[in-house]
Amino acid sequence: MSETNTLKLICDSRLVAIVRLDDLSCAQELTRSLLGGGIKAIELTLTNSETPQVLERLRGCIPEFSTGQATLGVGSVRSLQEASIAINCGAQFLVAPICQPQVIEHAVNAGVVVCPGAYTPTEVALAHSLGADLVKIFPARTLGSDYIKDILAPMPYLKLMPTGGIDLKNLQDYLIAGAVAVGVGGQLINRKWIEQRDWARVTMAAREYSFCASMRHNLSETD
């Protein structure tokens, strides 16, 4: 799947599900449950050392990631070495908590979508100037949706993806403010459901978040 298709999937679905777990033994069941609920973009974080191997297995056994129906990426990328490992194991997009120029440059040269993290307007502008496809506003919970609107006022060309503290109560606020997508972690990837192997509940939550994100997409077409 091309870089353009990956970026389109993220922007069209307006939602990236962030999987940050200590135990990835049930990654295949979790991934299928998220896809079943309409999630199109899934991020596995490098806070778990098994992420590269797990991602490679998922790319091999779940056809949606090869046919362009969904995209699988790696998050918490903080160094050139980590970016290289993620890309080599098949990551279709990279997400970082910080703006690391070497990570952005490596992803751009490899033709992989990259979304570095930024907090201030200066950091956001720097990430964009270095070639970032999206800029992750992080942590969004301390800033709120009005911050997105304020940044886009002088720089409307930016593609922003706020992450941190996003839930069903505020998700649409961020999209209405101008974000092209949001990153959702713990509110969607509930550890208790996973420990109990309650995949039906995971799928239900995924469906709720997917529907909430798509509502803003539909509204924007009729504004």
Q: Which residues are catalytic?
A: 43, 136
Alpha-helix residue ranges (DSSP H) falling in 62-120: 64-67, 80-88, 101-110
Q: What does residue 88 show for φ and ψ, rounded to 5 degrees?
A: -65, -25
Residues 6+ apart with CB under 8 A from 26: 194, 197
Q: Is the peptide bond before 121 cis (omega within 30 degrees of 0)?
A: no
CB atoms inside a 10 Å sphere around CB 85: 16
Angstrom distance (rounded) from CA 169 to CA 149: 18
Phi-psi region of 21 (alpha: psi -120 to 50; beta: other; left: phi over 0): beta
Residues 6+ apart with CB under 8 A from 77: 46, 83, 86, 94, 95, 96, 100, 103
Cβ contact 183:171 at 8 Å: no
